[in-house]
Amino acid sequence: MAITNSTQIRLPTHIKPEHYDVFIKPDLKDFVFSGTVSILVDVTQTSEEICLHSLELEVTDVTLAAVSGEALPAPASMTSSPDFDFLHLRWAAPLPAGKYLLGMKFAGKLTDQMAGLYRSEYKSASGEKRYLAVTQFEATDARRAFPCWDEPSFKATFSVTVDVPADLVALSNMPVTGEKPSSTDGRKVVAFDRSPRMSTYLLALFVGEAEYVEDVTRAGVPVRVYTPIGLKDQGLFGLQVARDALDFFAEFFSTPYPLPKLDLIAVPDFAAGAMENWGLVTFREIYLLCHEQRTSARARQELAYVVCHELAHMWFGNLVTMDWWTHLWLNEGFATYVGWLAVDKLFPEWDIWTQFMFTEQGEAMSMDALQSSHPVEVPVTTTAQINQIFDPISYSKGATLIRMLATHMGPQEFQTGLSHYIKKFTYQNTETNDLWEAMSTAVSGLDLTSMMNDWIRITGYPVVTVTPGEAGALTVQQDLYLASGAASGCASLWTIPLLTTSLNAPGPLQQPQLYAKGPVLAEKTQPLTGTAAPPMKLNRDGIGFYRVNYHPTLVAGLISAIAENPTTAFAHGDLVNLVKDFFALAASGHSSIKHFLDLLQALRGASVGFAWEAIAATLGALRSLWFEQSPEVVGHLNRFAAGLFGPHSEAAIWDTGVSTAAKDHIANCLRSTFVANACRAGHEWTVAEAQRRFSSLVNATPEAAANSNPEVQAAILETGVRLGGLPEWEQTLAFFQREQVPDLKVRALFALGQSVDPVAMDKNFELIFSGSVRLQDVFHLMRSLSYNPVTRRRTWDFVRNNWAKFYEMFSPSGFLLGRIVSNSCESLSTLKDAEEVKSFFDGIDKKQYATIDSNVKLAVEEITNNAKCIERIAGDLNAWLAAQ
């Protein structure tokens, strides 16, 4: 096949597929696959060629026939444009407009790189090595499995047939319509029903061993959760969540689930967390398998959220799909928001929206405070660019802005607008303005397009500075917030909702005000009118995507009120908001680190729910910054942290098994936070207790381990390895290798990376390329090694010295390589580090750099900001700690 150059990034739109008949025969012994595809195409104008996508496939026997029955000669030429994965088919004469059947054979390799149609290795109950085949097509990898129009706007219907070993399960998006023996002995041919119109990235296939548990929704839709053989009981919780979430979304969107079945399946090797393939949703095992006694409350909650997120896509993304990846946030931002919404409806006692603030919103605000960030709606053209926007901006910032919009529209108006959007664009593709126009029909007096487009199309977010005047008057001013410090010359203005709250106000906002009735900052500076009584707090429940910088006198009033009555002064969500803002503003030089530390001191010993998670995250970040700074200051910080978390750790329950009772969920989540942070800070009693329990945990039988509280096991493993030697590391490695509960397996892997024993540290780096840690899980070990202050620099050196191998292993799986790059270096803290990281990546191959350029720029800026932050806050930090 010849290679040609092309400057056309997108496929031509005058030829569109309408239906695919796809036949695939995977070979799980020789790791290859072959197949045929017949595509009904509509040629809307005379065409010189047919151009579609194909990547790493051998394409042969191309045929073309008019639907009327006239067969055309074979194409005169078949060439490729490798930069764009294009396959060009040209005939001797131009093709007249009309409908044609395009047929071809194809063959490819069944790799282990978690992209396209790939193989995944697992072991049977007897320990025998076996393989399964599964697909991951988003964003641009359907073209690795069969030639196709691999862009989201080219929706078509699909009929899939597979030839597979007779003893294996075959699944696809639609139900099985027929099964018969194959012409090859020991195999069978399985045919699936025709799908609705959908994008290629949503097509899915699974071939392997599996068993299932099943239920049915109120509407009669059968729901199955498929698991590895012997683990189907671990699928029961995910099944319950999936069934209830499907019912919730059908009612919330006022649109029934459009497919005749829903399957969810756990896959041993999977690059993403999960994938919303229509009717066949694929998951990492940790996000679908849940042991009734041994899975932690945090992991159980994460599983529930991931299931809800993926099922939200059945409507937002699958039924209505973004036109191009520039509008990815329409898929992911909405699925993130309504995923959290569904969890809140299914488990209202979990206090989900307080957690949203220090997870989704916190992650988005951290990234979007960097000049290397990007708008929510960002133009992308290449596969490398597309893969890099599956990030906290598209997901978490998008979700936070939608939450802000939903609050100010009102819940009923918001739901009505979404329902209208879904119904209007069913089976179609949309852009952002289509959403605003549909939502505007549900509420009058709001110009949603002008209000929201600034938030969507401008990089970054504002900081609102509050200044007191005479007679209690307040003035507010908006400026661009940057983690690097005060921004200058920024002319951007946002329309900012300023919901306020005051001392002893009721809890989270139950009935949101209409946007037009709340105070709004739409100018650079303006007086704040109609505010609550002092001490007043802006951004009630942290709903707005901005930070608030209070004048020192206002800060003093807030902290004084909290210190006087920390449990009731403000709602937990408002406390999370204050903790996160005070720390970020101190790090960027907008305020003093003393304000942050005074706030934490005021909350000492208080029962403030998930506000403790925000305290743990921010104080942990501060301690991490000081990993190479004054040991005296590190000691002071550790003692301060031990004083905060230690008493809670001592009061925690260590011995009982996990309680899934509704009232215990928050306590279970916080138990792990208190114990882990007390151990890391060196709290004497907690460390001794963790070390005492280490041996019995790592050597326990599964039955005995089920009686141990899973909330404290991560801290026990981590502390045992960190303060032990090579024997403790080896015991934890054995625990990791035999463990079948995914949550515990990941925790054990992270614990291994915390060793400071010289031999064990060497073995950790050997593990990365050993093959004994799955590619999808290497990230967890790398993250631990970067978190460990003793191995942090060595981790970056290891990536730099083994870059070619990392690229070879992880580049096909898209974002995994970028995550490894980020985690290997972003916690370094000198300007020299920033220069070295930039210099190294500037020197690699340009094609390689294109796959991770966004990650590199963000990491270099993070390192630079770390260095400046240390210099900025060191004096006040030292003075405050010394005075305690």
Cβ(403)–Cβ(300) below 8 Å: no
Annotated binding site: 309, 313, 332
CA atoms of 288 and 302, how far apart (whole Å): 10
Q: What's the CA gap between 270 and 129, in Å, rounded? A: 18
> Hey, what CATH topology would domain 1-209 get?
Immunoglobulin-like (2.60.40)
Sign of CA dihedral 393, 407, 245, 303: positive
Q: What is the helix (H) or strand (E) element at residue 163, kind and residue range? A: strand 157-165
Of 252, 532, 268, the residue nearest 415 (C-alpha): 252
Amino acid, single-letter form, for residue 872: R
- Please give the span between the terminal C-alpha atoms of the chain, in angstroms, as a whole number: 74
- Strand pairing partners for 169? 208
Q: Can 310 be counted among the known catalytic residues?
A: yes
d(CA 452, CA 864): 32
Domain boundaries, the chain: 1-209, 321-457
Handedness of CA 716, 717, 723, 727 (dihedral sign): positive
User: Phi then psi for 473, rounded to 5 degrees?
Assistant: -70, 150
Long-range residue pairs from 793-801, CB within 8 A, at least 24 positions apart, any chain? 793/828, 794/761, 794/765, 795/824, 796/824, 796/825, 796/828, 796/833, 796/837, 798/765, 798/768, 798/824, 799/824, 799/825, 800/840
- 234 DSSP assignment: G
Q: Are strands 211-216 and 157-165 parallel, antiparallel or unpaired?
A: unpaired
Cα 220 to Cα 236: distance, rounded to the nearest angstrom: 18
Residue-level pLDDT at 446: 74
Say if residues 474 and 468 touch (Cβ distance below 8 Å): yes
Closest to 332 in 3D by CA, of 320, 317, 343, 347:
317
Integer Cα distance of 852 and 855 in angstroms: 5
In this structure, whether the domain defined by 321-457 belongs to CATH 1.20.140.10 is answered with no
Instruction: List all residues 6 or more positions away from 766 whose beta carbon is below 8 Å from its beta carbon.
Output: none
Q: Single out the residue of 715, 347, 399 nearest to residue 543, CA to CA.
A: 399
- Read off φ and ψ for residue 630, nearest 5 degrees: -55, 120
Residue found under tokens 């704040």: 528
Decide if 152 contacts 199 (C-beta within 8 A). yes
- The kind and range of the H/E element at 72 are none
Residues in the chain predicted with pLDDT less than 50, given as ranges, are 1-7, 506-517, 660, 662
pLDDT of 795-849, one tens digit each? 999 999 999 999 998 887 767 899 999 999 999 999 999 999 999 999 999 989 9
The alpha carbon dihedral of 90, 92, 96, 99 has a sign of negative
Is there a cis peptide before residue 611, judged by omega within 30 degrees of 0? no
211-216 sheet: strands from edge to edge = 211-216, 222-227, 262-267, 280-284, 274-275
Is there a contact between 263 and 281 (Cβ–Cβ < 8 Å)?
yes
483-499 burial, b for 16+ CB within 10 Å, e for fewer?
A: bbeebeeeeebbbbbbb
pLDDT of residue 503: 63
Per DSSP, 156 falls in state B
pLDDT at 709 (0 to 100): 83
CA–CA gap between residue 671 and residue 296 (Å, rounded): 10
Measured CA to CA, the distance from residue 124 to residue 597 in angstroms comes to: 53
Q: Do domains 1-209 and 321-457 have the same CATH topology?
A: no
pLDDT at residue 810, rounded to an integer: 87
**What is the edge-to-edge ordering of all strands in the sheet holding 129-136?**
116-123, 129-136, 205-208, 169-172
Contact assessment for residue 87 and residue 102, using Cβ atoms and an 8 Å cutoff: no
- The 3-state DSSP class for residue 432 equals helix
What is the rounded CA–CA span in Å between residue 503 and residue 388? 43
| Angstrom distance (rounded) from CA 627 to CA 310 | 38
The pair phi, psi for residue 190, each rounded to 5°, is: -115, 125
Quick one: tokens of 3? Answer: 């290679």
Are 497 and 404 in contact by the 8 Å Cβ rule? The answer is: yes
Q: Which two tokens stand for residue 315?
A: 């409507």
Q: In whole angstroms, give the CA distance from residue 616 to residue 604.
A: 12
Phi, psi of 237 (to 5 degrees): -65, -45
Measured CA to CA in angstroms, residue 63 lies from 72, 76, 457, 852 at distances of 7, 11, 45, 39
Which helix (H) or strand (E) segment holds residue 450: the answer is helix 448-457
Q: Which of 12, 9, 278, 50 is nearest to 147 (CA)?
A: 50
In this structure, which amino acid lies at residue 556? Answer: A
pLDDT given for residue 663 in this prediction: 58
Question: For 49, phi and psi rounded to 5 degrees?
Answer: -155, 165
Residue 682: what pLDDT? 96
- Would you give the DSSP letter of residue 130? E
* DSSP H or E run through 79: strand 77-81
Alpha-carbon Rg for the chain, nearest whole angstrom, is 28
The pTM of this model reads: 0.94
Instruction: State the catalytic residue, choosing from 151, 285, 302, 310.
Output: 310
Give the burial class of 209: count Cβ atoms within 10 A of its Cβ; 0-12 exposed, 13-18 middle, 19 or more buried: middle
Residue 823 makes CB contacts below 8 A (sequence gap 6+) with 779, 782, 783, 786
Return the amino acid letter for 812.
Answer: P
Are the C-beta atoms of 541 and 351 separated by less than 8 Å?
A: no
> Can you tell me the distance from the alpha carbon of 307 to that of 264, in angstroms, rounded to the nearest whole number?
9
Q: Which helix (H) or strand (E) holds 101?
A: strand 98-109
